[in-house]
Structure formats: C-alpha cells, structure tokens
Amino acid sequence: MSVTHATPPPRWRGWLRRPSALVALGLLLALALVWGVTLFQATQPKSLDQRAHEVASQLQCPICNGESVADSPSGLASEMRSLIRQKLAQGESEQQVIQYFESRYGDTILESPPAQGFTLMIWLPPALMLALGAYVVFVLGREWSATPAVAQPSPEDEALDLSDDERRRLREALLREMEQDEGMSFGARDLRKGHA
C-alpha cells in the first residue's frame, strides 16, 4: 500500500485570494496599460498642429494669469500660437521655439521653470517627499517581513496538553455521542463506572 502525499498549492494561489493582492494586481495592470498606450503614442509621428499645441502648452500667456498660450483666448496668445506654428513649419525644433520665447520674456514665460537657482525651491519638496515615502515603505516592508509569524497550535499539540482527567471526559463525551448516533453501546457507561 503506497501513501501519497498531497502537494500544497503554489504560494501565488493563496496570495491571489487576498483582496489587497487583487487590488494591487489590478492597479499594476492599469498602470502597465497606461504606460503602454503612452509609449505607443510617443512613438507615433506628430502633426504640425500637435507639435504647435505642445509648445504652446509649455508657455504661459504673458497677460493671462495661470493660463498657457494653448488655453488662453487672448489676442496676444493667438498671435503667439501663430508664431509658434510658423516657426515649426520653417523647420525649427520645439526647443528652439521655446528658447526664442524665453529669450524675449525670461523664465517667467515657461509653464515649468527650470530647476536652477531660486526655482529649484519649487522642485525640491516633491522630490524629497517621494524619497521620504520610498524610505518609509522600505523600512515598514523590512519590519513587516522580519516580524515572525505567530504559530497556531495544531490539534495534535492541543491534544498533548490535556490532562488525564480532561482526556477521560472527552473520551466519555465522544462515546456517549457515538452511542446516541449509532444506537449501540460503545462502553461509555462502563468507562464512567470504572472511574467513579
């Protein structure tokens, strides 16, 4: 007679049963989808209008508060959009067009100021917060993985911890239950008489 041992299921099956793991997997798949679409769109050639809109989106309207040249309805922004389109059509790169406007209006024309000098103060806090968050996740992950799992006692271990009196009472209860279910005598009465 051969004894076969059931192999435990792979660990990933148990992991996938956790709701938090399924949410994390869903977020990971959504992020991969977004990155894939973005990468696909980035590799496609852009039309002149798309290039002009991208450049205009990187420039602030000089007379409008907080609006880009692409979004501003002002006459000056409209002229700037036409000039951007004209310069791109003449073969200038996006960076050359941006530098043209930066030389005329200064760094304040840029939607995203360069990370140098005083404007570096704008860029540092988000980077520091990201680094701090990564550090906290790393430390908590190490603590979580280093915490030993509390072992649950198995039924065999619990049975070994019973006193003789407890074992006798459990055996009597089991025999009484078997007598009631089966309608046969299994010796529970004899067992009780011997210890009384």
Would you tell me how many other CB atoms lie within 10 Å of the CB of residue 52?
24
- Per-residue pLDDT, 187: 59
Exposed / middle / buried, residue 64 (Cβ in 10 Å: 0-12, 13-18, 19+): middle
Which candidate, 115, 79, 114, places its Cα nearest to that of 99? 114
Domain 48-109 has CATH 3.30.413.10: no
- Per-residue pLDDT, 83: 92
Residue span(s) of the chain under CATH 1.10.8.640 come to 48-109
Radius of gyration of the chain (CA): 37
- Per-residue pLDDT, 85: 92
Q: Under DSSP, is residue 106 helix (H, G, I), strand (E, B) or coil?
A: coil
- Per-residue pLDDT, 30: 93
169: left (phi over 0), alpha (psi -120 to 50) or beta: alpha
- Per-residue pLDDT, 147: 64
Would you tell me how many other CB atoms lie within 10 Å of the CB of residue 159?
12
Rounded-to-integer distance, Cα 151 and Cα 13, Å: 21
pLDDT along the chain (196 residues), means of 10: 56 65 85 88 81 89 86 89 92 90 86 68 80 88 71 62 84 84 63 51
- Per-residue pLDDT, 100: 92
Which candidate, 86, 83, 73, places its Cα nearest to that of 104? 83
